[in-house]
A and B are shown apart, each in its own frame.
Chain A
Amino acid sequence: MKFAIQINEGPYQHQASDSAYLFTKTALEKGHEIFRVFFYHDGVGNGTRLTTPPQDDRHVVNRWAELAEKHELDLVVCVAAAQRRGLVDDGEAERNGKDATNIHPKFRISGLGQLIEAAIQADRLVVFGD
């Protein structure tokens, strides 16, 4: 089956990203396809490479990045949600005159159309959040 994943909550504050990660990892292991993982609302916070959890805790961001590396996952952060919350890539920094970026290189910032397209293309959209 082909899945699209939507994550609506930030890391650590909420378990949504953890559950989505475990779902995605298991689905891939079982031979399913993940069309895209889309981060929305505070979920965009899952995409910052500056995250530094305590060493004895899971690294939510790096874990997604490693899964993406292994399975060529498309990790997309919503641009409108990202702008509000200060998640920045090179293009956004240039456009909005910001002095830094913080997005992890395995994530990309794009529009809400990517979420709609994923919902159309996938057999199932699975939403993680409250």
Chain B
Amino acid sequence: MSEDIKNFLYLNRRAPYGTIYAWESLEVVLIGAAFDQKVSLAFVDDGVFQIVKGQDTSAIEMKNFSPTYSALGDYDVNQLYVEQESLEERGLSVDDLMHLTWEDEDEDWAEKDSIRVVSRAELNKIIEAQDVVFSF
């Protein structure tokens, strides 16, 4: 295994249910967290629905995997970009999203927000800066 550390971005573009892409993307993120790369996630288009709070899947008999996003901080996955335009186009704001946090070891385990809302233009630059983009 190479010692190089790469910038990994998981680009989540789809709604959490309806197709399996979101859930299987999260499985890659969890496995990938063991590889000590610099990892971030981006939520765009219907992907922003993946981290909406208060999800209830009982009526569609699907597993509600949204609590898993809350565990990402424990895996040192704490850079979650959400595209502003995608939120607005769907009538959502950051207040509709789960409050996802991580604890900063370097600052006496201070709790910090994982989610950062960025504009489409900013996200373009973030994607440009990646070595690897997993698109789901």
Contact = CB atoms under 8 A, between A and B. Distances in A.
Interface of B: 1-2, 4, 6, 8, 20-21, 24, 27-28, 31-32, 34-35, 37, 132-136
Nearest to B31: A112
Contacts of B27: 80, 112
Interface residues of A, number: 19
Closest 10 CB pairs of A and B: A112-B31, A119-B132, A116-B32, A116-B35, A127-B135, A125-B132, A112-B28, A41-B24, A120-B2, A113-B31
21 contacts: A6-B134, A40-B28, A41-B21, A41-B24, A113-B31, A113-B34, A115-B28, A117-B1, A117-B35, A119-B6, A119-B8, A119-B134, A120-B1, A120-B2, A120-B35, A121-B1, A121-B2, A125-B132, A125-B133, A127-B133, A127-B135
Contacts of A111: 31
A81 interface: yes
A12 to B, nearest CB: 18
A127 B20 contact: no
Interface of A: 6, 8, 40-41, 80-81, 84, 111-113, 115-117, 119-121, 125, 127, 129
B17 to A, nearest CB: 15
A112 B30 CA distance: 10
Given A6-B134, A127-B134, 9 more contacts: A80-B24, A80-B27, A81-B24, A112-B27, A112-B31, A117-B35, A119-B6, A119-B134, A127-B135
Nearest to A42: B20
Contacts of B24: 40-41, 80-81
